[in-house]
Amino acid sequence: YYSPRLEKKLAGLITAPVTIVEAPSGYGKTTAVKDYLRGQLPATTSVFWWNADEDAPKTSWARLCKIFARIDPRSGEKLYSNAFPCITNAWEIAETIADIECSVPSVLVLDDFQHLQKHLPRSVMSAILSYAGANLILVIITQTTRPFLRSFFQQSGANYLHINDLRLQADDIYRYYQLCGLAISKSEAKQLYRYTEGWIIALYLIILQIQQGEGFTPGLGIIRLIESIVWENADFQTKTLLLHLALFPSITTEQIGFLFQSKCPQRNVLNILDEIPFVRYETSKQCYIFHAILREMLLRRLEAADSETRTSCYSRAGTWYAHIGDSQ
């Protein structure tokens, strides 16, 4: 199931020279791109699919250069003969990418691009995002724009799909579940949206639960999934920070400054939060908000933590609420 809102944005895959699809794991980015290209591209269009390897950026780059060589032998060989992109050869590589020529209609999908983009100089990234050669369409699938600002991607003029385009709203959830043969009410769809925030993989796991007779209440499978995405990839400092912040429904920069002024500079905390999937900054409310499933997982982790960690977290939260009471 694809919402009308998403289908409208997916149409840009075959009209824009560059498309970026950005969202955390489990939002169906790769599936949506594959399905749309399979259904909309003429049979004569060549499709090249490349995946970045998290632990081997140089090998990933070499494989990408070989694909470019299949598209444009002259430019591809030039890229392959260069060393891995760095400050000394960045401009030459950027110019070569901009000059890539394609003789037949083709699409190149760069999947899991977050693993490579963090190693690329800004000029090389800019050349990729602003590519405008004839016949070749670039589609970039990434979990995050980091270490670049999101505005760097958005202002490139590319077709940009983000998490709000991919998530299912309450009406979408209602239709999706109906298509799966599950009769849910509109109020149940709204309840599912409040909990999952339209996270597709979570909604799918709940469907499996319902089919197995386990009801609508999200089970441990969903908690373990977000645990594997966020917790298992976090270092000790990040885990400690998350446990302290999980006690708050939302967290402002003022709270962060107060809670961590003696432990960790506010800028460091904000940088960490910006890197974490399922933590979003609400500009209108000027605060960070954790995904409901992420917060539930963190609260479970906090209750299972050692007494020293729990005491620290609850004590620091209590200090903040006492501070608020004193200021009022």
CA distance 63 to 273: 33
Q: Which has the minimum average pLDDT: 39-43, 60-64, 107-111?
A: 39-43
Q: Which has the minimum average pLDDT: 106-110, 210-214, 230-234?
A: 210-214
- Please determine, for residue 240, whether its predicted confidence score (pLDDT) is greater than 50: yes
Residue at token pair 């999952």: 196
pLDDT recorded at residue 265: 57
- Please determine, for residue 27, whether its predicted confidence score (pLDDT) is greater than 60: yes
**Confidence band for 68, pLDDT divided at 50, 70 and 90:** very high
Radius of gyration of the chain (CA): 22
pLDDT recorded at residue 12: 92
Average pLDDT over residues 65-91: 94
Q: Which has the minimum average pLDDT: 39-43, 81-85, 267-271?
A: 267-271
CA-based torsion, 79, 140, 180, 197: positive or negative: positive
Percent of the chain at pLDDT exceeding 90: 72
- Please determine, for residue 152, whether its predicted confidence score (pLDDT) is greater than 90: no
pLDDT recorded at residue 195: 92
User: Residue length, the chain?
Assistant: 328
* Contact indicator for 240, 309 with CB cutoff of 8 Å: yes
- Please determine, for residue 87, whether its predicted confidence score (pLDDT) is greater than 70: yes
Average pLDDT over residues 75-87: 93
pLDDT recorded at residue 262: 56
pLDDT recorded at residue 328: 46
Average pLDDT over the chain reads: 91
- Please determine, for residue 326, whether its predicted confidence score (pLDDT) is greater than 60: no
Tokens encoding 129: 């995002």
CA distance 191 to 180: 18
Omega of the bond leading into 147 within 30 degrees of 0 (cis): yes
Q: Which has the minimum average pLDDT: 84-88, 109-113, 187-191, 261-265?
A: 261-265
- Please determine, for residue 235, whether its predicted confidence score (pLDDT) is greater than 70: yes
pLDDT recorded at residue 168: 97
